[in-house]
Amino acid sequence: MLMLKIAVLLAAFLAAGDAVARNDVAPAAPAARLNAEPGKSAPPKKAPPKRRAVRQVVDGMPAYGPRLDAPPPVPLGPRPIPSAVAPSAIAPPPAVISGCDAGGCTDVNGVRYNGAAGNSVIGPQGRSCTSNGGVVQCF
């Protein structure tokens, strides 16, 4: 008897759900509901602006060191006498590290890089350098 009641209720719920599903209609878009008037269609959409072709210019990466195609600088006056210890204007190439200890690292040429905070070290000329894996790059 209990099984019969459950079967009847289940059949009624399934029939009600099927009837609701057949009557469901997708709701209209909010803009269409606000602007819709009986007998009128929506205004035509504005065409997007035309695009024009533009030539793309891609510059290459700068060469290591001074540019060879750059014109030489024009001297403005008498040149100063170079000092005995002039810092190099060009950053040295990356150095390969051979070993590190608590005080810093040494590269394969025997140059010492003193340790600082984190992955930064101080190079032999006093420059700030960054150690990344097995390579040190000074700036």
Predicted pLDDT of residue 33: 52
Whether 104 is covered by a domain: the verdict is yes
Q: What is the reported pLDDT for 54?
A: 87
Quote the domain boundaries for residue 113: 95-138
Q: Report pLDDT for 139.
A: 79
User: Across-strand partners of 66?
Assistant: none
Q: Does 89 reside within a domain?
A: no
Does residue 132 form part of some domain?
Answer: yes
Q: Is residue 21 part of a domain?
A: no
Q: What are phi and psi of 22, to 5 degrees?
A: -70, -30
Using 70 as the pLDDT threshold, list the residues of the chain that sit under it.
Answer: 17-40, 62-73, 75, 82-89
State the total domains in the chain.
Answer: 1
Cβ contact 70:62 at 8 Å = no
Q: What is the pLDDT of residue 24?
A: 52
Query: Is-above-0.75 flag for pTM?
Result: no
- Residue 112 has a pLDDT of 92
Q: Which residues contact 83 (CB under 8 A, 6 or more apart)?
A: none
Rounded Cα–Cα distance for residues 63 and 128 (Å): 22
- What's the one-letter identity of residue 30? P
Is position 86 within any domain? no
Residue 134 placed within a domain: yes
Distance CA 89, CA 110 (A): 23
Identify the pLDDT of residue 11. Answer: 84
